């Protein structure tokens, strides 16, 4: 048996706000969306990110299964690489996106990064590769 990773789906409470965020703020192209505004699939180059209206989960998850959404959850983190972290931060601030931490350098791994949350509370990290790696 072989598993092949195909996409990450975020089950979001405010579907329209999240859809607008990924399309308009992050600039991802919509690859597919349904007619009922419950599901949208974005093209993020080598991967896909999909959004699903969380209120419809009951149609797919048995009622006996307990669903929990902690506001501080970071069980899933979407990480995007950017060419210029400073420009990206300026763009995000223009769209009123609040950073959760100042940009931090990780010279041992060769990148700078910071993070923020989408309108659904999902954690997003942005990284800029650096030339300096400590061996």
98: left (phi over 0), alpha (psi -120 to 50) or beta: beta
pLDDT exceeds 70 at position 3: no
**Mean pLDDT to the nearest integer, 76-91:** 91
Residue 27: which region, alpha, beta or left (left: phi > 0; alpha: psi -120 to 50)? left
Residue with the bigger pLDDT between 94 and 117: it is 94
- pLDDT attached to residue 135: 44
Instruction: Output the six-digit token pair for 30.
Output: 């919509």
CATH of domain 72-135: 3.10.180.10
Chain region(s) in the chain for CATH 3.10.180.10: 1-62, 72-135
Q: Average pLDDT of 110-123?
A: 89
Mean pLDDT of the 120-132 span = 85
What is the tens place of the pLDDT at every residue in 28-62? Answer: 999 999 888 889 999 988 889 989 888 776 665 55
Closest CA relative to residue 45, chosen from 61, 33, 31: 31
CATH superfamily of 1-62: 2,3-Dihydroxybiphenyl 1,2-Dioxygenase, domain 1 (3.10.180.10)
Average pLDDT over all residues of the chain = 83
User: Which pLDDT does position 25 carry in this prediction?
Assistant: 96
CA pair distance 92, 81, nearest whole angstrom: 14
């Amino acid at each position: 048996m072989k598993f092949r990773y195909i996409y990450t789906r975020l089950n979001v409470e405010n579907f329209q706000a999240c859809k607008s965020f990924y399309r308009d703020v992050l600039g991802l192209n919509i690859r597919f969306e349904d007619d009922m505004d419950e599901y949208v699939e974005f093209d993020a180059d080598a991967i896909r990110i999909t959004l699903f209206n969380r209120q419809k989960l009951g149609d797919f998850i048995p009622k006996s299964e307990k669903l929990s959404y902690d506001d501080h959850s970071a069980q899933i983190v979407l990480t995007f690489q950017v060419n210029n972290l400073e420009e990206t931060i300026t763009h995000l601030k223009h769209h009123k996106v609040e950073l959760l931490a100042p940009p931090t350098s990780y010279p041992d791994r060769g990148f700078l990064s910071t993070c923020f949350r989408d309108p659904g509370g999902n954690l997003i990290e942005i990284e800029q590769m650096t030339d300096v790696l400590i061996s």
